């Protein structure tokens, strides 16, 4: 991922937890990744001190991410056919929720920075 190396920390069921390889060195990086068995990325905490991690996924790539607008002119992110509506903006972070969050209770979310760099992606949908 963007030139950073991650080491498998533990596996629980279908989920694998990864930590930045620099964590135990003098750099102390606390970046983590959580994946499913098929290496689908479901959670990222990007805390690299030198730069922000850019994600390269297998089943859902950010190159497939498109920005569009709703009928009412609100921004929408579309990834693999799933639509994410902007939920709120706090500081430099923008929080997005699956468009079916209210109707179906879907908990899929994306967090981006102002330049649309994804810093968190939980792409598990219940539909």
pLDDT of residue 59: 39
CATH number of 62-122: 2.20.25.240
Residue 126 exposed, middle or buried by CB count within 10 Å (0-12, 13-18, 19+): exposed
Closest CA to 46 of 117, 94, 116, 124: 117
**What pLDDT, in 10s, does the model give residues 31-51?**
788 877 766 666 666 655 443
Could you tell me which residues are beta bridge partners of residue 79? 82
pLDDT of residue 58: 36
Does 54 have pLDDT greater than 80? Answer: no
**What are the extents of the domains in the chain?**
6-45, 62-122
Task: Count the alpha carbons within 13 Å of 113 in the hemisphere toward its beta carbon.
Answer: 10
Residue 79 exposed, middle or buried by CB count within 10 Å (0-12, 13-18, 19+): buried
**What pLDDT, in 10s, does the model give residues 100-121?**
888 888 888 888 878 777 777 7
pTM summary value: 0.55
Please give the helix or strand (H or E) that residue 101 lies within, else none: helix 101-104
């Amino acid at each position: 991922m963007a030139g950073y190396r991650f080491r498998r920390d533990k596996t629980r069921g279908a989920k694998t937890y990864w930590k930045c390889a620099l964590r135990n060195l003098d750099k102390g990086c606390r970046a983590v990744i959580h994946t499913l068995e098929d290496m689908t990325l479901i959670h990222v905490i990007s805390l690299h001190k030198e730069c922000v991690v850019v994600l390269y996924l297998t089943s859902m790539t950010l190159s497939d991410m498109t920005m569009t607008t709703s009928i009412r002119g609100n921004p929408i992110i579309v990834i693999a056919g799933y639509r994410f509506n902007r939920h709120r903006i706090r500081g430099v972070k923008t929080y997005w929720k699956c468009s079916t969050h209210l109707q179906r209770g879907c908990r899929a979310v994306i967090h981006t920075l102002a330049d649309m760099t994804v810093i968190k992606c939980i792409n598990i949908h219940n539909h």
